[in-house]
């Protein structure tokens, strides 16, 4: 492990410990601790929900439901796993329920900023369509966006979920496995198949990045 990877791992561990401390404080009635948790994770949760339902208004509604469930579940919270794993599991379950009720919203939003941090400004479309010339006209740019959106939306649901959680929300394979209740090897397999399908469909538009070691996965609020 490189020095940078070690630093990132230590940073991630420190942030996870702070999340647990805040949640346990909230259990004891410290409302400001809950407000801090919301500040740390609101943006990332909203982006995850937006990419799942492709509706800003519905994503905001679901975000409020996630926070409400955190409030209702605070007495039962046990720090057996990372807070992010726990809260993203709540969000994922809401998205699963939503997709069953409204299958037309099972689409990935490609324009929202990626990642959980406030400064994560690169959209998924930009990551996939980096070969798009800066001088293309609006019509051609729209066609590229539609092609990329269709390719991601056409992934099988389990592969699309892993792809978004990994490449967009920047969760580790281990966290995704816990959220999806499958093995880590299953998560890696789904990710591999998703990347293969995107390469096949997008051809020259697809830019493959080397897979990050989980130690390098960022966990900013």
pLDDT band at 83 (very low <50, low <70, confident <90, very high): very high
Q: Distance (Å, rounded) from C-alpha 165 to C-alpha 182?
A: 14
CA 148 to chain centroid, in Å, comes to 18
What structural domains and CATH numbers belong to the chain?
A: 1-107 (1.10.1740.10), 109-212 (1.10.10.10)
Report whether pLDDT(194) > 60. Answer: yes
* DSSP per-residue string spanning 84-152: HHHHHHHHHHHHHHHHHH-GGG----SSSBPSSSTT---BHHHHH-TT--TT--HHHHHHHHHHHHHHH
Check: CB of residue 145 under 8 Å from CB of residue 89.
no
pLDDT band at 130 (very low <50, low <70, confident <90, very high): very low
Choose the most confident range, by mean pLDDT, from 45-54, 112-121, 182-191.
182-191
Report whether pLDDT(176) > 90. Answer: yes
**Predicted model pTM:** 0.68
Check: CB of residue 81 under 8 Å from CB of residue 178.
yes
Q: What are phi and psi of 184, to 5 degrees?
A: -65, -35
Q: What confidence tens digit (pLDDT) does each residue in 1-56 have?
A: 676 666 666 667 888 899 999 999 999 999 999 999 999 999 989 988 887 887 88
Q: Distance (Å, rounded) from C-alpha 142 to C-alpha 88?
A: 31
pLDDT band at 101 (very low <50, low <70, confident <90, very high): confident
């Amino acid at each position: 492990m490189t020095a940078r990877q070690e630093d990132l791992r230590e940073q991630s561990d420190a942030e996870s410990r702070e999340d647990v401390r805040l949640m346990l404080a909230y259990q004891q009635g410290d409302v400001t601790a809950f407000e801090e948790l919301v500040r740390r994770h609101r943006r990332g949760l909203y982006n995850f929900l937006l990419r799942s339902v492709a509706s800003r208004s519905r994503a905001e509604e679901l975000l409020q439901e996630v926070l409400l469930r955190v409030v209702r579940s605070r007495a039962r919270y046990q720090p057996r796993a990372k807070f992010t794993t726990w809260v993203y599991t709540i969000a994922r379950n809401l998205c699963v329920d939503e997709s069953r009720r409204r299958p037309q919203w099972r689409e990935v939003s490609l324009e929202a900023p990626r990642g959980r941090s406030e400064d994560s400004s690169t959209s998924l479309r930009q990551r996939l369509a980096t070969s798009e010339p800066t001088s293309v006209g609006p019509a051609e740019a729209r066609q590229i966006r539609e092609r990329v959106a269709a390719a991601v939306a056409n992934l099988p649901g389990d592969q699309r979920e892993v792809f978004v959680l990994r490449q967009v929300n920047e969760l580790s394979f281990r966290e995704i496995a816990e959220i999806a209740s499958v093995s880590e090897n299953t998560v890696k397999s789904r990710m591999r198949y998703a990347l293969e399908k995107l390469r096949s469909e997008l051809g020259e538009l697809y830019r493959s990045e080397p897979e990050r070691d989980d130690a390098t996965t960022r966990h900013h609020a």
